[in-house]
Amino acid sequence: MTTRFEVPAGHPALPGHFPGRPILPGVVLLDAVLQAAGHDRAHLLRAKFIAPVLPGDVVEIALTPRSGGRIGFACASGGRTVLSGELACEPAP
């Protein structure tokens, strides 16, 4: 499954991260991954931030189901990977 989102220039997390050269905070990217996965009971197993995401960038999130309730993810922007990792998803109660 693949989903996309654009980082609006007016995103509220940008002004303080970093002044003079705003980049999207990693926690915002991870939140987008969790929303794309549709799991409210997921645990982050690993994440590797590879490149910054800037205002106006379009980010594509690709999710890959794995065994044991795990989901691999890769985020790309401008033809380059910006974040990759893996989630462990708990079954719904």
Taking the C-alpha atoms of residue 93 and residue 82, their distance in angstroms, rounded to an integer, is 33
Domain CATH number, residue 12: 3.10.129.10
**pTM given for the model:** 0.90
**17 catalytic residue (yes or no):** yes
Instruction: Name the residue range of residue 85's domain.
Output: 2-89
Number of domains in the chain: 1
pLDDT of the residue at 62: 98
Residues of the chain with pLDDT below 50 are none
Label residue 53 exposed, middle or buried (CB < 10 Å: 0-12, 13-18, 19+).
Answer: buried
Taking the C-alpha atoms of residue 15 and residue 7, their distance in angstroms, rounded to an integer, is 13
pLDDT of the residue at 33: 95
80 neighbors 59 (Cβ within 8 angstroms): no
Q: What is the DSSP string of 15-27?
A: TTSSTTS----HH
